Amino acid sequence: MHPTKKDILSALIRYNFVLKILERITSNVESKNIKDKRWFIFSEKIARKYLNQAYTFQQIIQDDIYFEKGNEDIRFVDFSSMFSLLRIQLETYSVFYHLFADKCHIEEKIIRFRLWELDGLRSMERYEKPNDADVSKRLSKNKEDIEYCISVIRGFDFFKNLDSNQQDWLIKYANWKFSSESLKNKNKKKWKLSINDMIINTGLSESLFRDWYSFTSTHTHSSYWSVIQNDTLTLEEKITMEYIAIMQGGFVTSFFIKDFCGIYEIARLVLDSLTKNEREVIDSFDDNGRKNEKELR
């Protein structure tokens, strides 16, 4: 049975609600940390990036566009952009989780963050050209930041307890996509986590991962199927895909909310201020989209 337009409206109301709550949480955290320079304040910066992506997705699904085909107006839906945005949001969330919300030792978490920062600083060096005073000054500051990142990483016992090959591998390539478990692998090629590994590690159920991430990938990479799909879908199939996309957006946004609450008390206060029915909207997305505790063990 295909979802109806009423089902889509209901899903859209829930999606807009969870997005509003994440915005409220992020704004509160930003206000609280306005002068804070500690490493974990970047969690709110990634949340803001996610929200920007989510608002673009929201704009796509809320505005109806029609074009003339023969003697009738045909509703235009760009599924490729819609599902590509969902994939980007899921990847943004997985980076947030890997750096700030993962249930690992705090030293491992900080090392991941500093390597992530190191990776970015080195990328900036590659793209910036020191042909004027302003850029040269910025590059000089970059070098200081790079040295600081490396010194912080080398100071942790977690890093000191790794063998020299692993230490060199982390620093030389700024390999922030690792875990203590991946480093136990005898095969060096498996030390680095793939984006798929990082997404699965968030607790996303494997069925959702298969049906969601794999499907969105076909649109992101313009596969043969994605190119012809918009022209071959029936109206009922288009409604179904819209419904699925909106629900998926609700899932990942609720994951973000719950994980933010594990980092900041001010985020938990927002969640605690919701009515029972409002809280159930977020809880239902989180409960149905993640593995249960037994599966995680």
- Are residue 57 and residue 114 in the same domain, yes or no? no
Question: Helix-strand-coil percent breakdown of the chain, rounded to 5?
Answer: 75, 5, 20
**Does residue 188 sit within a domain?**
no
Q: Rounded distance, CA 154 to CA 85, Å?
A: 37
User: DSSP letter at 156?
Assistant: S
Interior CA angle at 83 toward 81 and 89, to 5°? 100
- Are residue 158 and residue 292 in the same domain, yes or no? no
- Are residue 96 and residue 233 in the same domain, yes or no? yes
The identity of residue 102, as a single letter, is D
- Are residue 114 and residue 84 in the same domain, yes or no? no
What pLDDT is recorded for position 210?
A: 74
Domain boundary among 149, 178, 207: 178
**Does residue 270 sit within a domain?**
yes
- Are residue 219 and residue 275 in the same domain, yes or no? yes
CA distances from 125 to 62, 120, 153, 170, 253 (A): 40, 9, 20, 19, 33
Check residue 187 and give left, alpha or beta (phi > 0: left; psi -120 to 50: alpha). Answer: beta
**Does residue 183 sit within a domain?**
no
What pLDDT is recorded for position 214?
A: 66
**Does residue 184 sit within a domain?**
no
- Are residue 116 and residue 65 in the same domain, yes or no? no
- Are residue 76 and residue 213 in the same domain, yes or no? yes
- Are residue 208 and residue 259 in the same domain, yes or no? yes
Structural domains counted in the chain: 2
What's the pTM value of the predicted model, to 2 decimals? 0.88
**Does residue 297 sit within a domain?**
yes
- Are residue 206 and residue 295 in the same domain, yes or no? yes
- Are residue 87 and residue 229 in the same domain, yes or no? yes
What pLDDT is recorded for position 230?
A: 62
**Does residue 189 sit within a domain?**
no
**Does residue 115 sit within a domain?**
yes
Domain boundary among 178, 209, 229: 178
Query: Which domain range does residue 219 map to?
Result: 1-100+198-238+247-279+287-297
- Are residue 212 and residue 160 in the same domain, yes or no? no
**Does residue 27 sit within a domain?**
yes
Question: Per-residue pLDDT for the chain (297 aa), expressed as one digit of tens each?
Answer: 678 778 888 999 999 999 999 999 999 999 999 888 899 999 999 999 999 999 999 888 876 655 566 676 666 667 778 888 888 999 999 999 999 999 999 999 999 999 999 999 998 877 766 666 666 677 788 899 999 999 999 999 999 999 999 999 999 999 999 999 999 999 999 999 999 899 999 988 777 777 666 667 776 667 777 677 666 777 777 778 888 888 889 999 999 999 999 999 999 999 999 999 999 999 998 888 887 644 443
Interior CA angle at 34 toward 29 and 36, to 5°? 95
Interior CA angle at 285 toward 282 and 291, to 5°? 125
- Are residue 86 and residue 118 in the same domain, yes or no? no
What pLDDT is recorded for position 75?
A: 63
